[in-house]
Structure formats: C-alpha cells, structure tokens
Structure 1
C-alpha cells in the first residue's frame, strides 16, 4: 500500500537534520577550537573524535530502547521530537560557551558535543528504523529513500555553504544558533509529517542487549550489507578528507575545494530518482552494484588531479557523485527490507537494533576515513610545518593516492560481500 505523498516527503525532512549535523561540525568545529578558543590541536582532535566514538557504542543501545517503546504516538516518532529539540539546543550551546581560558572552553565544548551526539543518536536511529515499520512495500521504501537522499544533498550543500559565511560575518555563536534552527526545522518537520501512520505492532523481544545484537549480526544478508556499506563509508571518508589538500597542493586553488565538494554531492539532486527507477525495474541489489561500480570509476578518474588542468577533476568528481547517490539510495532502501524480513521470520521486532548497528558502522567508517587519509599522508612524508608553501614529490603523490586510489580500492572491495546478498525485495514485505 502506497504512503501518502506528505509522509514520503515529510519523512525526508529529517534529512535536513542528519545532513546538516553530518556536515557542519566536520567543517567548523576543529578550527573553532584551535583558532578561536586557543585549544591545542591534539586536544581539539580528541574533542572532535570522542563524541563520534561514543555514538558507535550508543547507537545500538538507542535502537534497543526505541524497539521497546510503547508510546501511543508511535514507537519511533516521540524520539524524533524529543531528541530533535535536544539536538538543536545543544548544538547551539557548543558555540555559545566561554571564550577562555582554553581548558575551560575545551571542557564546555566536549560536554556540549557529547550531549549533542547523544541526542543525535536518539534521533537518527529511530528515524532510520521508521521505513521498515510504516510500510510493507519494498518499492515504497525505495521511493522514501530517494526523497531522503535528495534532501540530504540539499542540506549538505546549504549548510556547508552558509555556515562558514555566517561565521565570517557574525561569528560562531550566531552560526550555532542558525544551525540549531535548521536542525529544529528538520526534526519537527519529520515528526509532524509522519503523524497518523500505521506502524508494525510486533513487540520487541525480551532478553539482554548482547543476545539481541548476536541475533541481528547472525543475519547473513544484514552482515553482507553492513560490511559493504562500512567499507564504502571508509572510502568516502578518506576521499572527503582529501578535498582541501587536493585543492591546495595539486590544483593550486583553495577555492577548488568547494567546487569538488559540490560536484561530488550535487548529482544526488538529479540522479537519485534515476537510481530509484533502476531499483524498481532491475532490483535494489543490481542498483547498488551498478552505482558502486560507477563510484569506483569516478574515484579512479579523480587521478586527473595530478594534471595541471582542473576541469577533468570536476568531471571525475561528478561521475563519482553519480555513483555515490546510488550507494545511498539503494542500501538505505535495502536495510529496512532486511530488518522487516527478519521481523517477519522471527516474530520479534529488532528493527531498532538493526538500524543502531547500521548507523554505528557508518559513523565508524566516516570517522576512520580521515584517519586513514592522514596515515597515507604520513607514509608519503607530508610536512605539516610548510604552511602550504611546498611539499615533496612523495607527499604530493600521497595526497593523490589517498584521495583517489585508496577510496577506489575500498569501494571496489565492498562488491565482494554485496554480490552474496540474497534477499529478493519482491518478497521483502513486513
């Protein structure tokens, strides 16, 4: 049964929050700590990383808690509103603390960011779990994810472009308040739009969390899908970490980073419906395989950054972006299929734990990707003290390898578990 259009589109409003929160801290939190608050770089790096590591642990717990919710407003919906409001408020507080001394400012940001990350886990995991419960139509789930990925792209482009401008014009406190409003719009929008939907009434199983995690991980198709998605998140994390280095050292134009970023993310606005059509006619697995291959081709083509001409790199980033859009639409639609099929087979609702493990894996992959890129730079002899004026030939090679070959290999390896995925979405009805 098809969902009302307001539910499909309104549910996607939650991606305003996920896209914004996934973009802005990575762009601005580290320079805020080091350049405005005077926090040492190594301490600032830990402050940025620790909440992400905490989310890896917390996501399955958040899923378990939402699985056992029995609110009359729906199993997941109350989390969207409560956690969404907390997310918006605490994000603004991150950038509204004391300006000194540095130790006090660092503690403020760490505590605020930890609370903010906790709120985000209790929003994102129930948000990801909803498609498996509000429709039994596997094709409808794909249409929901198409809208979702398009809104994510808009949120990333909007927040990534406007937040730095607000910092430059009004300062970090105003930027925090502005982003808080964006987060509030996304979370409240998703909550309101999904009012009245009928959810799967299957009860969550009893027993310790460890046992429920074991049951979920034992599902072969979920395991294959998760391994493939995490490998891709790791590769994409490394690719995105290299954008500013490529622009500065290989293209000799720091402004090129914005063009590369837009070329990679922007295609999702145009091609997500095409990937949805592919999935509808040829299957989600086929769509995921095809989009993965396109992403690999685009990543390899990014080797053109080693030339003196910039436009081939932008074209390559666009090709990679076309593939990236599909590698978001397809697995995000396949995950609720797997979770719903497992619920139907066992009679127990573990959908929140499925999505909790999924978001934990994605968070871990995206968090480790920049670290992997940094390791490649270190092996190549990247010199931090040069201030962007010069790098050795081996360091320049490392910049390119970490940006193109490493992501291409990681994404290509994801094809191995993905080929063994066996769930037929035609039978994936809750």
Structure 2
C-alpha cells in the first residue's frame, strides 16, 4: 500500500522545539500535583476513608479510557486553518486551569460529601486535560519524519517535563501547608497551580504555530475501527503494555511520598526532598539517557531504566528496620535510584511511540496518530490513577486511620508496614512484569529504518520482515 507523503525531515526550528516542549509544563504539572497530594488531601484533610479516596482518585481517570481515544479520533479529523491539533490545544488552555482550581475550592465538607465534590471536579479537570494532552502527544510524529529529530523533540519535552514536575511538586505542598488554615492553603495552591497550567497550555499553542503540518489522509471510518486497528499493531501493544506497567509504580511512588515522610520519617516536610529525589533525575539524567539510547538503542536502555527503578523501590522495604537517624538518608538514596530509572521510563517509551506511529503511517497509508496517542494518554492517566488507587487500597487493608487537618492520629503498626510495602514490594512486582513486554518489542532503530524504506513488505505479524 502506498503511504501518504512523509512528514518533513529537515531540522525543526529551535523556537518550535522549545514551544512544543513548553507544553510539558502543563502535562507535567497535572500529572504530578493530583498524584502527589490529592490522596493525602482526601484522607488527612477532608477525613475521607482510604477506600473511598481510592475511588475518587481512580474513577475520574478511568473515564479517560473512553474519552482519550474519542478525542484522538476527532482531532485526526479536524480541519482548521490552525492545523488539526492546535485548536484542541487552545480549548484545553481555556478549560483546564479553571477546572483544576475547582478541585480544591470545596465548601466546608468532610467525609463522603467532600469525596463526591472532589470526584466531580476532578472528572471535569481530567476531561479538560485530555482535550489538550491527546493532540499534543500526537504532534511530533507529524512534525518531522526523522527519528533522531523526533528524539530531540522528545528530549525538549522531557526536559521541560522535569522542570514542571520539580516546580509544581515543590510549590504545591509548600503553599498548601504554608497557611494556618488548611482549607485556605489548598485553595491558594489550586490557584497557583492553575496559573502554571495556563502558562504551559498557551505556550504550546503559540509556540507550535510555525510547526510543519501533516499531509492529511482519511483515518479509519469509525472509532471502533480505529481501536481495532490499534489492537492489531503488535509493536504498539507491547510498548503500551510495558509503559502502563511502569507508569502504575510511578503513581504509587508519588501517592506514597507524603505518607512515608509523615509517618515513617517523622516529618511531613520530608516530602520535599523525597519528591526532589524522585523527579530531579528527570532533568539531570535526561541527556545521558538520550545519549545512551543513540548508542545502545532505546529498548536496551529502557530495560536498564526499569531495572534501576525496581532495585530502588525494593530497597525501601528496609526503612522500618532502620534507626531514625538512618531512615531518612537511606530513603532519599533509594528514591534517588528510583528517580534515575523513572527518568528513563518516562523519556524512552515516548520516543519509541513516535517510531511506532511513523511506521504505522508508512504501512497503512493513513495518518492516525490521534488514535494511538489517545489510547496511550488514556493508559498513562489511568495507570497513574491506578497507582494512587492501589496505594490507597493498601492503606485501607493495612488499617490506616483517616483524619482531618486539626487532629493527629497514631497509626497502628500494620498501617506503617502498609505504607512501606505499598511503595516497595508492589512497584517492584509491576516493574518486573514490564520486562516481559519490553523484551518482546522488536522495532529496533535498524529494523525501523529498513521497514520505513520498504513498508509494503511489512505487516504487523511479520516479525522477520
């Protein structure tokens, strides 16, 4: 089958690279702040039980499983003077900041009533985020046909992602805990984070106005047909499975950090160094992962990154056995090892996804990046929420006692072990399972070049092509 004219292979203007990367301020902020503080906000400020809180953090994101592919399908079909994706970026910029701020603007509620309010507000924010994120992730495969250029574009994205995660993850707890009244602190935090979301979404919309636009072709006739095609794309399914299994542990680590800091390390303020150890390597090691991927291949580096994540997480199980003077530095060191691995599991799969999208366009003759990125972002958001939800269930079954901001609760020994096991054993098991998927993914750089050079000889089930 003759494919569509390929995307341009010339180097993208630096302004476009930076403009696109700035969009990660929004994706990094929204992916971090709810995962870091929403569960703790529910259980330790609004006095919501851990079991109900698990539903609140998970169900709104489960909606993305249906919503994101639909948005991807619609953006594939969009015809606009601004291109097919940028109108959606603008729509997200106009809705996401407002809906996010609303999550933390709850009236004086507690327990189940507070949980219902937060769930509805979070659902609206998740919808607005999908409107922005799905088309945003689809853009690189259409902006350039050069695999190295796409990796460079991803490096800008991950660099700004790391900055956004560090900034929002450090800023949000500091503002929320910096007021005498907890409710006021969280409202101010919601407004400040909404400002970051506005900056990121508008920057991506304005910064990509000079980006090359894809040559449009007809996508599949229906959403069901597009999902069916994605299911037959073996490289996508393997990569998607690995990414989801690695994203759930990331959600667990974010959700568990405030509990580890407050109940095991004895200082709620310790959440800041824990968070820095987890996400700081995104900025520091990203160039190293990029260089290693060019030398050794993306798949090999992804396996190495996952191994580091597993080792650091599993080592945390020893924290309750250590004296107080050693528990904190040991925890920081373990989480830093996790952070180096987390950096690789963030950058490399996205770079590999753009390869899969480019290959699909060459083989099928159709531009349907939206359906793949819709499924991908749905999986990412669901996995992060599943991580927080799974951690909340561990707390519930281990006997964790919820509280409000005015009371101090002594947790039973079982709950303390649950806090640690949820951040160590469970993530390690999931990361170990992801190795099966990564090892079976076989679109290496050399094989990709050969397949793009002769797409008519390749089918998704032809492993020897």
TM-score greater than 0.5 by the shorter chain: yes
Offset at 1:206?
3.6
1:295 aligns with 309
- Is residue 313 of structure 1 aligned with residue 331 of structure 2? yes
Q: Name which of structure 1's ranges 58-67 and 397-406 shifts more when overlaid on structure 2.
A: 397-406
2:427 aligns with 407
Q: How many residues align?
A: 428
- Is residue 353 of structure 1 aligned with residue 362 of structure 2? no
- Is residue 417 of structure 1 aligned with residue 437 of structure 2? yes
Offset at 1:164?
3.3
2:456 aligns with none
2:145 aligns with 136
From the superposition, tell whether residues 112 and 388 of structure 1 become closer, same or farther in structure 2 (CA, over 3 Å): closer
Structure 2: gaps spanning 5 or more residues: 1-9, 454-465
- Is residue 222 of structure 1 aligned with residue 252 of structure 2? no
Distance in 1 of aligned mates of 2:114 and 2:84 = 38
Q: Name which of structure 1's ranges 108-117 and 251-260 shifts more when overlaid on structure 2.
A: 108-117
Offset at 1:422?
1.2
Q: Deviations over 1:169-193 (max 9, x none)?
A: 4644433332222111101111111
Distance in 2 of aligned mates of 1:180 and 1:87 = 8
From the superposition, tell whether residues 274 and 184 of structure 1 become closer, same or farther in structure 2 (CA, over 3 Å): same
> Where do residues 263-302 of structure 1 align in structure 2 (5 Å cutoff)?
263-302=277-316
**What is the TM-score normalised by the length of structure 1?**
0.90
Q: Deviations over 1:102-147 (max 9, x none)?
A: 9987766544433322111010000111111101111122222222
> Where do residues 105-184 of structure 1 align in structure 2 (5 Å cutoff)?
109-167=118-176, 168-169=178-179, 171-184=185-198
Q: Is the 8 A contact 1:142 1:329 kept in 2?
A: no
Offset at 1:302?
2.5
1:237 aligns with 251
- Is residue 391 of structure 1 aligned with residue 412 of structure 2? yes
Distance in 2 of aligned mates of 1:372 and 1:94 = 21
**What is the TM-score normalised by the length of structure 2?**
0.84
Residue in structure 2 matching 1:369, options 383, 387, 393: 387
- Is residue 337 of structure 1 aligned with residue 351 of structure 2? no
Q: Name which of structure 1's ranges 365-374 and 271-280 shifts more when overlaid on structure 2.
A: 365-374
Q: Is the 8 A contact 1:266 1:321 kept in 2?
A: yes
| SS of the residue 1:255 aligns to | helix
Distance in 2 of aligned mates of 1:35 and 1:406 = 23
1:16 aligns with 25
- What CA RMSD, in Å, does the superposition of the two structures yield over aligned residues? 2.7
Q: Is the 8 A contact 1:153 1:266 kept in 2?
A: yes
Distance in 1 of aligned mates of 2:79 and 2:298 = 32
Distance in 2 of aligned mates of 1:34 and 1:251 = 19
Offset at 1:312?
2.1
Higher relative CO (Cα under 8 Å, sequence separation at least 6) belongs to 2
